[in-house]
Structure 1
Amino acid sequence: MKDIALTLREEFFPHWLIYALLATIIVLSAIKSQKEMVFAQMKAAFFKPPSTLPEAKENLSFRNLTNYLMLLNYFVVSGLAIYMVLLYFDRTAYWMVFLPASIYFFQLFSLYFVNFISGEYLKVRENIILLNFITHILGIVIIPLLIIWILNPDLSQYMPKCLFYVVILFYIIRLVRGIFMAIHNKVLWFYIILYLCALEIWPIMVGYLVLSPNFIR
Structure 2
Amino acid sequence: MTLFLTSSFAETKDLLLTVLNKDKIGKDMLFITTAAQVEEYRHFIDQVYKGFEELGLTVTSADIAEMSEKDAVRKIETCSVLAVSGGNTFYLLQELKKKNLLPLICRRLSEGMLYAGESAGAIITAPDISYAGIMDSSDLAPELTDTTALDLVDFSILPHFGEEPFATACQQTIEVYRDKVQLLPINNHQAVFVTEKGYRILGE
TM-score band w.r.t. shorter chain: under 0.3
Greater RCO (Cα-Cα under 8 Å, separation 6 or more): 2
More helix by percentage: 1
Decide which structure has the larger Cα Rg and report it. Answer: 1
**TM-score normalised by the chain length of structure 1:** 0.25
Q: Would you tell me which structure has more strand in proportion to its own residues?
A: 2
